Chains A and B, each alone.
Chain A
Amino acid sequence: ELKVEQNPLFLSMQEGKNYTIYCNYSTTSDRLYWYRQDPGKSLESLFVLLSNGAVKQEGRLMASLDTKARLSTLHITAAVHDLSATYFCAVVFGNEKLTFGTGTRLTIIP
Chain B
Amino acid sequence: DTAVSQTPKYLVTQMGNDKSIKCEQNLGHDTMYWYKQDSKKFLKIMFSYNNKELIINETVPNRFSPKSPDKAHLNLHINSLELGDSAVYFCASSQWDRDYGYTFGSGTRLTVV
- Chain A interfacial positions (CB closer than 8 Å to B): 31, 33, 35, 37, 41-43, 45, 48, 50, 86, 88, 90, 95-100, 102-103, 105
Contacts and interface: CB of A to CB of B under 8 A. Distances in A.
19 contacts: A41-B107, A42-B106, A42-B107, A43-B90, A43-B104, A50-B99, A86-B41, A90-B102, A96-B48, A96-B55, A96-B56, A97-B56, A98-B45, A98-B102, A100-B43, A102-B42, A103-B42, A103-B43, A105-B41
Given A48-B99, A95-B56, A97-B56, A41 B48 contact: no
A95 B58 CA distance: 12
Given A95-B56, A105-B41, A42 B99 contact: no
Interface residues of B, number: 25
Interface of B: 31, 33, 35, 41-45, 48, 50, 55-56, 90, 92, 94, 96-97, 99, 101-107
A45 B4 CA distance: 14
A36 B1 CA distance: 21
